[in-house]
Amino acid sequence: MAGTNIAVLSGRISRTPKRVPNPRGQGTVYVFPLAVRIDGDEQLVFPVIVTPELPRFCRYRPGRRLHHQQTVTVHGQVVTRNLTRPLHEAVAAQADRSGAPQATVDQLRTQIRSLADGELVARRVIVEVLAERIAKGGAW
């Protein structure tokens, strides 16, 4: 791992790791958000961890609160990539994640798509940590 964008983060696995197509090449990788405390434990951030292999201890336990999830320490390279998607899809995804009824999500998607003939876009930067090592335990 070359470069200066190296991170060592300790936190708790906050969602079930998923196997997805590798956005940087061939094959698949595992991705999961890691809940990391910042600002004197007052605030949480959720960087996305990307790893080709998932250690057996990296698992999420549904139904358990965050402070009962597995603590891990990740050493890896911080990378960013740009994501551009239609605004109506981005807003609909946020509404769906917030628990809005499907009828509301569909109505938002349709109404926003009709604005400017669907040419409005949402842009964001995705920050990921390409894990070189994942160890069990760490500070929380």
pLDDT digits (tens, 9 = 90+) for 4-18: 789 999 999 999 999
CATH, domain range 6-136: 2.40.50.140
Output DSSP code: residue 110.
Answer: H
88-133 pLDDT, tens digit each: 999 999 999 899 999 999 999 999 988 877 689 999 988 899 999 9
Q: What is the pTM of this model?
A: 0.75
What is the rounded CA–CA span in Å between residue 49 and residue 69?
16
Q: Helices 102-114 and 87-97 sit at what angle, rounded to 10 degrees?
A: 160
What would you measure as the largest C-alpha separation in the chain, in angstroms? 50
Q: Is the dihedral angle over the CA atoms 22, 24, 131, 70 positive or is it negative?
A: negative
What is the rounded CA–CA span in Å between residue 120 and residue 114?
10
pLDDT value at residue 3: 58
